[in-house]
A and B are shown apart, each in its own frame.
Chain A
């Protein structure tokens, strides 16, 4: 087993990985950029090393700096988290060449699934359905226009080296094609240093369903059921749940079998996710393999009782899975909401800034994976996701009600977040009915606004009575009885204006 793991990531996932390492008695090294000097992910680790400038390309994406930090601190393994270097086969090979262990699939498996076009071809040969697509696009936009006419509209443009919705565009009519192509190519080139895009048929109102797999280096492989991830904005997930309300037991059997077929064919080990798109007639199509720990892994942990990071580390250390498919029990229902620093009333525009106050919800069946604390920054340089709130219930409705309550217990002040949007989403009858599909938000929340402020009077009274801790230590004189910072002050003996 490893003695020290370097965590090549930031935010909530770095914190989450460090927790499991600590439980396993493994020392941890956090890395940070100059923009993250005060980030909460540093103080859950045993050591912290600055790996470069604020721009991710100069720090979290800079493989050489990360490797140098691992060597300097004597780490024997690197956990890449998700995003950044997590699916970079070149980095995984460099880690192995340096005599360290990359906690993730073998580099060859990473390469096999990393390019979506290559993965599509591999999977199609296995008899797993793929969406009709055009992989080799002409360079001349006019020629592309003729090429895609055979597929018909609407179309979806995707980046070959994609992920996270970057470089994706829906094209509903021919007139939008040229602009959408150039935007997708630009975005893909900026995000993945590879601007190749392809075009596939766009299914209306489909479900996005993915299967979690886990395999060891000896070739034992199991699935941990599916996750429904259809509630998306800008092609990025904001709510996930397991099991999927759209997947019957018979369909689950078919989809998990297809996922395992794909994983076995590419010699996959460690944790991974096989993504499918599911239409309303129960037909599913392979989308891609996410060769990493997923953002939404907590909901699978809720219903299986497994710690996926623990399993990843054990597998990377060469240990056998230690359980078989029949040993895995899935219990109840779990939901996750992603809290983003973004303005849902203005096209989900990111809104980085200073967090003045953060209060996480708690209670039975509530889990919070957070990358923020009060008085920290959400920098402009990285993904605006700041926390994940997940809930468990014996059934979907219990998990949903628990989530609706947990979100109302959450407080974040100082920057705009999607918290009120998530509350409205959880309360929506169509969500409660399980009628989720990838067009859900544009159908039900086309022009969402914060709406009613039911407790305005209470808020005004609170603002008048207690002006709170001052950010800059100046301003109004506190009311007389509040000049000492005693917490849990009861109002006995308090006199207004005395």
Chain B
């Protein structure tokens, strides 16, 4: 080939879009046209996963991987590489030895196994033909034409797939319950109300490969005997909603959705409902109330949704990632699925890896991999030479896993055994500068705000727990607070109406279990060992000060005074403890104690 490149893939996931990838796509189209290279295709894709290197641009078939591309770099790539045949070396992604490597050769991908994300980054999510070319709708065709509903359900059961929303309930059983539930009208629902702070797996699937969810829901409809489905997605995900709408429109037009699908006489219609900012709507019965246009408070279970769900009818409800596994299980079989992961938790899991880790992004790994492998081999370790302190899984319902458990295999049971949970897939790494009492307070504040108010243990208990944590981090904690905190945690856990309240004390309980010395330091010594709780800190100027006045200029509260070339001092009454002075000092003369 003349120029080695006839396709340019630009990531248009949320991370890269925030980094101006739409402008990059536009620039490529203009530059290519202007250079008479309009036969080179510019393809907008879903998330590649390596968000910290975004915006990402890949050229094919020569497989060059450009990272951190800016809109202004496009002209150079077109001129030098696409027209001139010489890749722009300075923009190519470099591996651990400084050599340019292609995307999937990067260390980040070596231990990954991409099933759910297989098509993310490879196809244009707004183009149904791309989806079909990459194996799309083969599962639907097989299920509808060559399998009975019972056969579909039994393959899912045999696969051992467990719900990826967090709790890990066996998916096949849910399908079987709904299939066997009496009633002529049934529903299939997709839970895309991804609310855990620091989790964006489901969004990336919906943005990168929306048709895989549409296809899986249609298969589910066939299996359980439903002719109508709803996708409940957060209103905060405008791009995902847009791509779903495009996908559903195209599927309808091509006869993969709607009436008489693939001429088999099977009807299945799908609509989108979006949430309006309520974390509790991720709880399945609260979600059903919200789809019905009511406030999202949970319902008493039993009856379970499989028996009496949406509008009082039997309803199958699964999470996005769960659905994204279905098509591949139908086409490749239960044994193939069981060949990945562990016997109790087969398959893969997608994690949103974030926080104090070098490679931030979306990773899909076989179950059973250890935390250490994810953080160090895939995530590239902790930045700035700092040490690992804890990893947080399961969001506000999960827990903080300390260094002593870093070799724990990731599966549903192992995480539960150490007090955390799989959760939906947020995995936040924290370095040794993070205060664990502060983290517990952060999650508790989140839960206080998100408690729906239906039951007293959650509504009131969490507020009281938050108050105690406020006191401890504010330097007013007393030793009796710890016993009270534990008692409240137990009570909220045992008495709350739904899983939101029952799991809300987990961040407190795990930090308590693994980092008790930090709680004690806050209470007994009035010190925050990590140096984060501002009420327990003081900034001081040491004798190293050269009197450059930079700190005084940086101070937002005008709390620093001193003459030029003389030692400065900080007025503790005015200081807001923001740390700006510390960053501004060229000789590191300001310390935090």
Q: Do A and B bind each other?
A: no
